[in-house]
Structure 1
Amino acid sequence: MKKLLLGLLCCVAASPAYAQQGPEPVKVTDLLKIKQIGNITLTRDGRKAAFTVLGIEPDEKNKADYKNVTQLYEIGTEAGARPRQLTAAREGASQPAWSPDGRQLAFVRTVDEKPQVFVMAANGGEGRQLTRYKHGAGSPKWSPDGRQVLFSAAIPLRELLNDSLLNAAKSLPRWPFEKPGFDKNDQLAATTAKPNADGSLAEIRAYLDKNETDKKAKVLTKLNFQDERDVSAEQSFSQFFLIDASAPEAKPVAVTNGFYRFNQAAFTPDGKHLLLSADIDSLQHPDRSLENEIYLADRDGRRPRLLLGQDNTVYSSPEVSPSGKWLAFQMSPATGVNVPELAVMPLNGTAKDIVIIPFDRSKGNLTWSDDDKYLYFTAQSNGGAPLYRANIKTRKVEKLSAADTGITSFDVARDKVVFSQTGVLNPSELLVADAGLKKVQPVGNFNDWVKTKRLSLPEKHSFVNEKGLAVEYWVMKPTGYQAGQKYPVVLEIHGGPSAMWGPGETSMWHEFQYFAAQGYGVVYSNPRGSGGYGQDFLRANVLDWGTGPSSDVLTALDKTVAEGWADPAKLTVTGGSYAGYLVAWIISHDQRFKAACSQRGVYDLATFFGEGNAWRLVPNYFGGYPWEPAVRQVLTRESPISYVDKITTPYILFHGDNDRRTGFVQSEMMYRSLKVLGRPVEYVRHPGGTHELTRSGDNRQRIDQMLRTFEFFERYINTKGEVN
């Protein structure tokens, strides 16, 4: 018996460190099983947490399709507590917010295609609809006395102009609307003229205006005329409102006003004031004004006082400490490529009192500890997104969670931290811990199905490039790897270009594991220009989107091939957005790949400037605009379309029909150019798809894109030994 036990222990010890040895491979349809935890919020006493779970369900309208549904859950923070589902309606629920006494929970649910705020008892039951606002309602927050709920709504300009409550004086924007020939915005004023195509000039204008209202024409006068899905002439303004939390027929009361965008509002702890984050500029059109300020107003929104604001500076993420003494925030230049600075100051102080907390990473989700001693936050760093806390007195930052995981949501109250985490062994799990994360307890079983899967575990490596920058990369062997055999490899590249990948990044968990299960090695890296490595690294691809970053990702591949198991004759490459650009750049300068895939890419930077809503990347990274001769020369040099005649690699291109972030004309240019040249190219368009298709889009289209990429690679790699 002892010999048998010893033999078993030896077998366990000999298990390869590159894989979790479950009985089942990861399948493409496992994408539909992943549940994502988020929106964690604790009661003030730290005894209970509410959170959301995003899952994928069959669509009752079409059984072949799938829909995303978010529901609310709660869990106690005591030992042994288990999660409990609070909502189950098919409309779902999101954005939970506890009342100060922890007895009620506000949340958001869609009603008649508009989000509205609901309130339910903490122990569950049917939610009561609190708002019925015609513009919708979101981001609920309770007043400190629990009597009112603060919420936000986006008000279209046309309706704001005519709203008798929000604009009783029938005011017009003071900033220039930029309609040629109307220097004083007179065209926005109310008119008594009736629409008449054959009438007076005023009646013709009324007729044309009605055509716009009836969606017969889009008249563009604003700078940012593309949203995520379409070309849009609409202009809207986020405003905040208060509503009584208990009166059945309560009406919302506006606490912000004007033709400005308010992006954040919160009560001070004593309930006497509102902290506002907004860009209030009466001289510039909102599309041109890039700054953001922080204001302190009375509880009803009146008498706003500027706390922080100056030219070419963005002040953001304001959070008041529980005592009301301190204000935490971030600040950065309004233009360029930057890592925002974390800072604190007395709430009753001025800019002269600002204290910087040095930490050269992009930070998010600022949250105070109850005693004002610590400021918690998350930050992408070196392939993970750990939870950190800064000691306000010493300005020292402490990393609390593992470097190779990612904290996707968290909250802190009393001596408790509840957080959701992504990692190699679980795409999303819920954990309860003490304030210093010394004792951490996983709770719930939302993704326990992963335990039965064979997973490839990434191995971390690094090298120093010619600029002296340390570049990190990860290698995942096929889950069925056997020493002595050769395997195909897919080089995966991230977008941004300021994104960051690693074991603590959630969006690629399934794709990486799927390719590993199909017998591919997976290599991914964070080339120069990636986030998660500080400002100097972030700026290292300014004026150099192609040559430098491609050198970094190809060096990672070269070093992987040098390990001996990767087959240099069976290399593939794929990436989306900026990475779609970089794939095109690579295959126009390098012929090693058997097949390549670009998704929603940028291929001609001058065209991207016009057709993408992310157009400011052009001046931020290349220092100017396409009509400037020196800049035009750089844009031509850095555009893959300039080298399209050098592309001979079999190539599949993807784009969503409604992707307005990068625009889709460039992919049409790339495809047509390659067809004219007679090169092996295939072009896939996804109807209704936006730039977010692979992350939060139609789930059949997400599966379709992954399978089409794999199938295209197999035409040239043929890992299955099947005849085409």
Structure 2
Amino acid sequence: MLNQRPMEKDDLFKLEFLQAGRLSPDSKTVVYAISRYNAQDDKDYINLWLVTPATKTTRQLTFGKVVDANPQWSPDGKTIAFISTRAGAPQIFLLPVAGGEAKQLTTLKQGVGGGPVWSPDGKRIAFTAGAAPEAMPDRTKPYRLKRKVYRFDAMGYLDDALQDLYVIDVAGSAPRRLTRDGYLNVSPQWSPDGKELLYLAMMSPDTPRFQAGLRAVTLDGQKRDIVWNWGTVMMAKWLPSGKQIVFAGQPLDAMMGANNDLYVIDAAGESGGAQPIKRTGTSAVGLGGGLQGDMPSAPLYADGLHILDDHTALVRVQAAGALTIQRIGISGGDSVETVVAKPDASVMLLDASSTHMLYAQSSFNNPTQLVISDIEGSSEQALTSLNQQLLSERQQPTVESLTVTSADGTGIDAWIMLPAVGKPPYPTILYIHGGPWGAWGNIFSFDFQMLAGAGYAVLFVNHRGSSGYGEAFGTAIQADWGNLDYQDHMAALDLVIANGQADPDKLGVCGISAGGFGTCWMVGHTDRFKAAVPENPVTNLLTIYGVGDIGEVMARFMGGKPHEVYDNYRRCSPVTYAHNCQTPTLLIQGEMDFRCPAEQSEQFYTILKDNGCKVEMLRLPGSPHGGSIAGPPIIRRAQNEALLEWMNRYVLGK
């Protein structure tokens, strides 16, 4: 098409992103949220929209420089509750669907943390909130830490960030606080009779981060354990009868990389002697999983569990390089059935009713669109056409799927994104995903688009240890990071060079988190790359066990604690080999990253400096672990510009 040009780094701030979507109670209308960048303020704002699929009519519900998030329909479909910053701290507002101004419901000084969640009768709303400002400790004075996990990424010190459950009458009254126990209490769900709230209790003062329990609390604050000291509960829902509860998670003894499964437990819970029953025993890949996208879009992180009736659940499932929707039988024999799976896109379940499903759809070249279908996944209708004009004016890269044979004969999925400009063989960037129990796949990544727009091919590989391929694949690098995963990446790189797609003399490597680990590992073991950009990397497994917020996860990955399997930590740490590095390396580090703290980058930086390797470090003030993906524009812009400039300088010699 005439007048098309490649994607450029500043195009990120011209894109609109889907942030939420909910079906009305009769499934005839959909409310959704869209974020847009405001150049004058250098901020993102979110507004709400309404669409009627039958007539294809759309109208904007909220306006202005505000963040209006998480819209939820009242049971009668007449009111939408949402969280908004229009009054300063986030508060719950109620908006009449028929028209009129939004009414503020909560006035907490500290603001609202999560929710809103309507009661079945529509008379109350549950939500979560932190401590009031006057109850917060003064961190300018000396203080003690007592928690096992005392700080957490994107939250800070946990004593300052705990959440409790509240209920407020829609007619208006002071909210009632239902919990006060030193836990991070989140994701409230009303029981069908409206007498209890189911919720996740996390961040116990004495247990690891990933040991999350499931509790229920009555409206007068009486708690009981549903699933406790069992393992990690990720999400949960009541069945319509109220007799059972469905949840997804892993038992405590599961290896990192093992499948997550769906379980059912009687509503009496562990307090009443009930035990979980697995419902996904025949599933090869389990539940959940997630593809690493590079875009600030909330559906990437939606829980994806919806109950249709007492016998059936819909769940999001990653299968290889795609997100799908599957139907799981809750009663009777094992039943796992794929309902929506696409060869050229991923789908992220947002909502479901007895007649319809609502999901976000993303692909390599399109961020997110909102789609509705019938309950069987047929009669699809796109409800949005976000970014259509901008994308029509950009040259689209092409993506080829690759089947890689690794050194030991194992088949590995990989893809190469080929630029619309230039000729092969292309300068090529190996981009390594995080996790390592994570994956690449058919989902939008702005970094990929930006690099392809600058003339690079981008190679991305689902190495062993990735999610979406079953337990044997996901646990293959247990206590052996840097071995099979390294071999898989090298085999993929050799393949695209042999295919004439990648220029062997113009190679770069990059990645965030465990992708940063892989990047640092690469440059300590090979000199075939001209440039490296590890972001928020893991470089020393011994020290991250103590300073990271998920140290016990490292112990699960390594097969024990450092004093038990010391050599595993030393052998699998990139700092052990950093003195070999001759590759110009730019470390990008969020200064408020508590997942992979700055000392991980600093150790690697110092060793490279001391051994004469070209190295620089970009510091991102106030940025947590994922700040360059979903953080403020100033942080996302800095990462984009630095990544491109470093590759251009050392891969292309510009």
Q: Same fold (TM over 0.5)?
A: yes
- The answer to whether the 8 Å contact 2:349/2:357 transfers is no
Report the counterpart of residue 317 of structure 1 in structure 2. Answer: 235
- The answer to whether the 8 Å contact 2:165/2:188 transfers is yes
Kindly tell me: are residues 465 and 158 of structure 1, through their superposed partners in 2, closer, same or farther at Cα, counting changes over 3 Å? farther
Partner Cα distance (2:605, 2:617) in 1 = 7
Report the counterpart of residue 576 of structure 1 in structure 2. Answer: 512
Report the counterpart of residue 15 of structure 2 in structure 1. Answer: 34
* Offset at residue 378 of structure 1 (A): 0.9
- What code does the residue aligned with 1:381 have? A
Kindly tell me: are residues 424 and 314 of structure 1, through their superposed partners in 2, closer, same or farther at Cα, counting changes over 3 Å? closer
Report the counterpart of residue 43 of structure 1 in structure 2. Answer: 24
* Offset at residue 235 of structure 1 (A): 4.9
- The answer to whether the 8 Å contact 2:148/2:208 transfers is yes
* Offset at residue 586 of structure 1 (A): 1.0
- The answer to whether the 8 Å contact 2:261/2:278 transfers is no
1:385 has 2:323 as partner: yes
- What code does the residue aligned with 1:343 have? Y
* Offset at residue 523 of structure 1 (A): 0.6
1:243 has 2:162 as partner: no
Matched residue SS, 1:213: coil
- The answer to whether the 8 Å contact 1:490/1:520 transfers is yes
Report the counterpart of residue 277 of structure 1 in structure 2. Answer: 200
Report the counterpart of residue 436 of structure 1 in structure 2. Answer: 376
- The answer to whether the 8 Å contact 2:438/2:467 transfers is yes
1:635 has 2:574 as partner: no
Partner Cα distance (1:479, 1:682) in 2 = 31
Kindly tell me: are residues 410 and 552 of structure 1, through their superposed partners in 2, closer, same or farther at Cα, counting changes over 3 Å? same
Picking from 128, 134, 138, the partner of 2:109 is 134
- What code does the residue aligned with 1:670 have? F
Report the counterpart of residue 62 of structure 2 in structure 1. Answer: 87
- The answer to whether the 8 Å contact 1:432/1:443 transfers is yes
Kindly tell me: are residues 718 and 340 of structure 1, through their superposed partners in 2, closer, same or farther at Cα, counting changes over 3 Å? closer
Kindly tell me: are residues 110 and 226 of structure 1, through their superposed partners in 2, closer, same or farther at Cα, counting changes over 3 Å? same
Kindly tell me: are residues 246 and 258 of structure 1, through their superposed partners in 2, closer, same or farther at Cα, counting changes over 3 Å? same
Picking from 513, 536, 559, the partner of 1:623 is 559
- What code does the residue aligned with 1:414 have? S
* Offset at residue 469 of structure 1 (A): 4.3
* Offset at residue 474 of structure 1 (A): 0.3
Partner Cα distance (2:205, 2:635) in 1 = 38
* Offset at residue 583 of structure 1 (A): 1.0
Matched residue SS, 1:579: helix
Partner Cα distance (1:652, 1:707) in 2 = 12
Matched residue SS, 1:523: strand
Picking from 129, 145, 160, the partner of 2:121 is 145
Aligned residue-pair number: 629
Aligned 1:525-536 pairs, distance under 5 A: 525-536=461-472
Q: Which whole-Å deviations, capped at 9, do the CAs of 1:485-523 have from their partners, x for residues lacking one?
A: 42211111111111211113x4xx211122112111111
* Offset at residue 233 of structure 1 (A): 6.9
Kindly tell me: are residues 587 and 434 of structure 1, through their superposed partners in 2, closer, same or farther at Cα, counting changes over 3 Å? same
- The answer to whether the 8 Å contact 2:620/2:635 transfers is yes
Q: CA-atom RMSD, angstroms?
A: 2.6
- What code does the residue aligned with 1:38 have? Q
Q: Percent identity?
A: 28
Q: Which whole-Å deviations, capped at 9, do the CAs of 1:681-720 have from their partners, x for residues lacking one?
A: 222212222221221123233223222222222223338x
Picking from 176, 181, 206, the partner of 1:258 is 181
Report the counterpart of residue 492 of structure 2 in structure 1. Answer: 556
1:499 has 2:438 as partner: yes
* Offset at residue 656 of structure 1 (A): 1.9
Kindly tell me: are residues 556 and 56 of structure 1, through their superposed partners in 2, closer, same or farther at Cα, counting changes over 3 Å? same
Report the counterpart of residue 202 of structure 1 in structure 2. Answer: none
- The answer to whether the 8 Å contact 2:523/2:529 transfers is yes
* Offset at residue 442 of structure 1 (A): 1.2
Aligned 1:209-608 pairs, distance under 5 A: 213=138, 215-228=140-153, 232=157, 234-247=159-172, 250-278=173-201, 285-288=205-208, 291-298=211-218, 300-309=219-228, 311-334=229-252, 336-337=255-256, 338-347=258-267, 351=274, 354-358=277-281, 359=283, 360-363=285-288, 364-369=303-308, 371-392=309-330, 393-394=332-333, 395-448=335-388, 449-465=390-406, 469-482=410-423, 485-504=424-443, 506=444, 509-608=445-544
Report the counterpart of residue 9 of structure 1 in structure 2. Answer: none
- What code does the residue aligned with 1:232 have? Y
Partner Cα distance (1:376, 1:681) in 2 = 48
Matched residue SS, 1:146: coil
- The answer to whether the 8 Å contact 2:25/2:76 transfers is yes
Partner Cα distance (2:621, 2:197) in 1 = 44
- The answer to whether the 8 Å contact 2:84/2:93 transfers is yes
Matched residue SS, 2:171: coil
Matched residue SS, 2:518: helix
Kindly tell me: are residues 76 and 535 of structure 1, through their superposed partners in 2, closer, same or farther at Cα, counting changes over 3 Å? same
Partner Cα distance (1:623, 1:214) in 2 = 36
Picking from 60, 65, 69, the partner of 2:45 is 69
Kindly tell me: are residues 289 and 641 of structure 1, through their superposed partners in 2, closer, same or farther at Cα, counting changes over 3 Å? closer
* Offset at residue 422 of structure 1 (A): 0.9
Partner Cα distance (1:565, 1:703) in 2 = 29
Partner Cα distance (1:356, 1:492) in 2 = 36
- What code does the residue aligned with 1:387 have? I
Partner Cα distance (2:74, 2:47) in 1 = 19
Matched residue SS, 1:266: strand
- What code does the residue aligned with 2:535 have? Q
Partner Cα distance (2:40, 2:146) in 1 = 40
* Offset at residue 428 of structure 1 (A): 0.9
1:716 has 2:635 as partner: no
Q: Which whole-Å deviations, capped at 9, do the CAs of 1:197-244 have from their partners, x for residues lacking one?
A: xxxxxxxxxxxxxxx636233433333233326863735542212111
- What code does the residue aligned with 1:71 have? N
- The answer to whether the 8 Å contact 1:389/1:400 transfers is no
Report the counterpart of residue 599 of structure 2 in structure 1. Answer: 665
* Offset at residue 536 of structure 1 (A): 1.9
- The answer to whether the 8 Å contact 1:294/1:316 transfers is no
* Offset at residue 423 of structure 1 (A): 0.8
Kindly tell me: are residues 221 and 259 of structure 1, through their superposed partners in 2, closer, same or farther at Cα, counting changes over 3 Å? closer
Matched residue SS, 2:495: helix
Matched residue SS, 2:545: helix
Where does structure 2 lack aligned partners over 5 or more consecutive residues?
Answer: 289-302
Structure with greater Cα Rg:
1
* Offset at residue 592 of structure 1 (A): 0.9
- The answer to whether the 8 Å contact 2:407/2:491 transfers is no
Kindly tell me: are residues 23 and 260 of structure 1, through their superposed partners in 2, closer, same or farther at Cα, counting changes over 3 Å? closer
Partner Cα distance (1:83, 1:321) in 2 = 33
Matched residue SS, 2:606: helix
* Offset at residue 662 of structure 1 (A): 0.4
Kindly tell me: are residues 325 and 397 of structure 1, through their superposed partners in 2, closer, same or farther at Cα, counting changes over 3 Å? farther
* Offset at residue 39 of structure 1 (A): 2.3
Q: Which whole-Å deviations, capped at 9, do the CAs of 1:248-277 have from their partners, x for residues lacking one?
A: xx1111233434443232222232333343
